[in-house]
Amino acid sequence: MRVRALDLRADRVVRIAGRRHLLRDVTLSATSGELVAVLGRNGAGKTTLLSVLAGRQNPDGGRVTLAIDGRPATGAAARAAIGMLPHDLLIYPDLTARENLAFFMTLAGRAPDGAFVSDVLARIGLARDGDRPVRQFSRGMQQRTALGRLLVSGADAWVLDEPTTGLDESGRRWLLALLSEQVAAGRLVLMSSHHPSEVAACATRTVVLEAGRVVLDGPGGADGTAAAFARMDGGAA
């Protein structure tokens, strides 16, 4: 399946909870081929921002717009284009990995394809364990299953909220390699992390959030990461 060109924009997005702001006038845009690292301390609003961008929450102010191949997309078409991997992994523990992937493939509106599912299982390293219930998996294996969900759905943009949580060193490296691969193939990847260092190598853009505001939006790589570190450390208490 061809990866389409996406243009995802947040335009002065506001998100409130009672009398507090979670996001204040956040303006951000991301396009296919980017790996955007969303950084910030706890409570900075990373999860909220990603939820709003992925369509899981509606903004209380401002707008989120998505264009696919230059044309605006809303509703089901927009949801088909964006895949999200939040903290709660959104997979069914009582189904096997294979059943999970087949289910989500159908949900994504694609005709069931057993061979494709097997391919994806192999790619995420679960070829052998594909027919065991996910409940028996380790966190790392569950994470891989959740990533498999994104792969079978054919989404052109991936939004991942702290996907490296609970992974060991090799798991993290595998994940970041997979993400870089996806970006190289033309996908848009947005991911949040507590640790700028781990995304240093692969991010093409670095965004730092603080108290719901974007305080830094610059290139990735080592320089971008250094700037992010400085911003996060030097930020007011």
Contacts with another protein, residue ranges (CB under 8 A): 16-21, 24-25, 54-58, 60-61, 76-77, 79-80, 82-84, 86, 88-95, 99, 103-104, 106-109, 111, 133, 149, 153, 211-212
| Residues 57/63, Cβ–Cβ less than 8 Å | no
Nearer to another protein, 200 or 214 (CB): 214
Minimum separation from the CB atom of position 222 to another protein (A)? 32
Minimum separation from the CB atom of position 100 to another protein (A)? 9
Minimum separation from the CB atom of position 44 to another protein (A)? 11
Nearer to another protein, 93 or 114 (CB): 93
Nearer to another protein, 95 or 227 (CB): 95
Minimum separation from the CB atom of position 211 to another protein (A)? 5
**Could you give the C-alpha distances from 201 to 11, 46, 172, 189, 217, in angstroms and in order?**
28, 20, 12, 14, 17
Minimum separation from the CB atom of position 173 to another protein (A)? 27
Nearer to another protein, 126 or 176 (CB): 126
Minimum separation from the CB atom of position 170 to another protein (A)? 25
Nearer to another protein, 1 or 170 (CB): 1
Per DSSP, the residues of 195-231 read -HHHHTTT-SEEEEEETTEEEEEEE-HHHHHHHHHHH
Minimum separation from the CB atom of position 140 to another protein (A)? 17
Per DSSP, the residues of the chain read -PPPPEEEEEEEEEEEETTEEEEEEEEEEEETT-EEEEEE-TTSSHHHHHHHHHTSS--SEEEEEEEETTEEE-HHHHHHHEEEE-SS----TTSBHHHHHHHHHHHTT----HHHHHHHHHHTT-TTTTTSBGGGS-HHHHHHHHHHHHHHHT-SEEEESSTTTT--HHHHHHHHHHHHHHHHTT-EEEEEES-HHHHTTT-SEEEEEETTEEEEEEE-HHHHHHHHHHHHHHS--
Nearer to another protein, 24 or 144 (CB): 24
Nearer to another protein, 95 or 127 (CB): 95
